[in-house]
A and B are shown apart, each in its own frame.
Chain A
Amino acid sequence: TLCHPSVPPPVWVRARVRRLLSGAGQGSPHSLPAPPARLPYVPHVPPMALLGKVTATTFALERPRCVFDGHADASDSVWLAVAFANASAAFRNPCSRADVPPYKQLPTARSYMTLETAAAAYSCSAASPPVLRVGGDTACRDQGRQDPCNGPLPSPGPYRVKFLLMGCRGPKAETRWSEPILLRRAASPSTIDPAPARRGSDVVVIASILASLGAVLATTVLGALGAKAWGSLCHQDLGTDAFTRRSYRTHHIPPALPQPLPPSCGCSPPGLCRSA
């Protein structure tokens, strides 16, 4: 795609452009810069397991390696263009560094560019962390600087990104747009239901067994007390049980007198009986 300056050129420049385009203007030193080379690389979120690769206001991208070799000079820089997914088709590459849409225009322009890095950082031989974090700089958001600001993203998106290699004369190469990246949305904690899924069986066991034991004990005590009270009220002899009771407070019982023998045989020592 051709670059579009942010300030439209005056009328006479536009007329000359039309004349050049209608003619065979390729290769002429006064022609417009060539459209940027379209690289097949697609930016994507890193596949490795990183818990913070997509948060509510930031996301991470895999660093492209060896992508711009062959197109980049030493003085070129690589930018990251971020746009809302439904505004990516309307994005126009800036013609120069001054035309780069800044971070604070994101709500209105629906896109911005950030992460200006020297092209050497993306070369094959560069040793650098494998992940780029978009939205990680909270300091530049509040100061309103004009520098490229990697500020946190204001809404969950979805967003699409592409890398743009910018030279002195404008964009030289661009990658393809990424798949839409949707950021996390946080729910309110009032949606959490703290109630247990079901009552544990332990509680039922303990409660039922203990309740039955308590009921048996209470019944036994009341029954025993009631029986004693009934017995003492009615003066009944309760008789002997199968279990013979033993009392430890012995009562002093005088020994019983021997019963007199029946008068049929009047002799006291046996064997010495004489008929009267």
Chain B
Amino acid sequence: MAKSDDCVYILQGLLVFGNVVIGMCGIALTAECIYFVSNPHGLYPLLKATENNDIYAAAWIGIFVGLALFALSILGIIGVIKASRTLLLVYIILMLITFAFEMASCITAATHRDSLTPGLFLKQMLERYQKSEPANNSDNEVTMTWDELMIKNHCCGVLGPSDWQEYTSAFRLTHNDADYPWPRKCCVLDAQGLPVNLDGCKLGVPGYYNSNGCYDAISGPVNTHAWGVAWFGFAILCWTFCVLLGTMFYWSGIEY
């Protein structure tokens, strides 16, 4: 009957469209996760030092899930057009496995983003910045990362230079309070990397030291990273859910 033909054509068209969208989103997810994994803001050593780099694991999973989604969407398009039960069954099962992986990635990214509080970075900075006997290489990397962060973003400490005054630190063990109320990198530096006015910086005269904290410079990119992986993955999964339901309905209607 013509009406049922139309219904089938419409369903086929919708499924093909759905799979095309999944394929494109898979490519986009892969590209986005490759961007995050490439560490554009140089914050990876800080996260690795806090032993909280699961958002990087989530991004790595996202790369492979994106490629899998692209490949499976092609398989799905072929299976829908040829109305092959075998192909569609393989498609459904592999899509379910990919769905499970992407679900894990989204939930991991969302959960671990929550745990990146100012207190976490503050504690790590106080315990590891300029540690005189670095236990392993990660302490050196933490120091270098903080130095670059403070110079590039004109900031000091996590919440401000008073972090160095309110708490004792590894830095304080090797640098006395009278000469170094806060690290030299917190001072406004000239072109050679020397403080413009050292006494002004030590006293805290506005204009000769960086008074704002670096937490915004850290949490901004990390939040973008985590939300990019978590929410984009969530959107893809919602769409994939609908396409999978339609495919299963279509599959069950194909006669042997």
Contacts and interface: CB of A to CB of B under 8 A. Distances in A.
A44 interface: no
A8 B45 CA distance: 66
Nearest to B7: A243
Contact of A51 (B103, B120, B209): B209
Interface string B80-111: 00110000000011001001100100110011
A152 interface: yes
Nearest to B115: A196
A214 B4 CA distance: 31
B56 interface: no
B194 interface: no
Interface in A188-225: 188-189, 192-197, 199-200, 202-203, 206-207, 209-211, 213-214, 216-218, 220-221, 224
B255 interface: yes
B166 interface: yes
A186 B173 CA distance: 12
B101 to A, nearest CB: 11
A227 B248 CA distance: 13
Contact of A203 (B99, B114, B244, B251): B114
A207 B178 contact: no
Interface of B: 1, 4-5, 7-8, 82-83, 92-93, 96, 99-100, 103, 106-107, 110-111, 113-115, 117, 119-120, 122-123, 126-127, 161-162, 165-169, 172, 176-179, 181, 199, 202-206, 209, 211, 230-231, 234, 237-238, 241, 244-245, 248, 251-255
Give the 9 A-B CB pairs with smallest separation, nearest first. A51-B204, A52-B204, A244-B4, A194-B120, A152-B178, A189-B126, A247-B255, A194-B119, A56-B177
Interface of A: 49-53, 55-58, 60, 131, 133, 135-138, 152, 184, 186-189, 192-197, 199-200, 202-203, 206-207, 209-211, 213-214, 216-218, 220-221, 224, 227-228, 241, 243-249
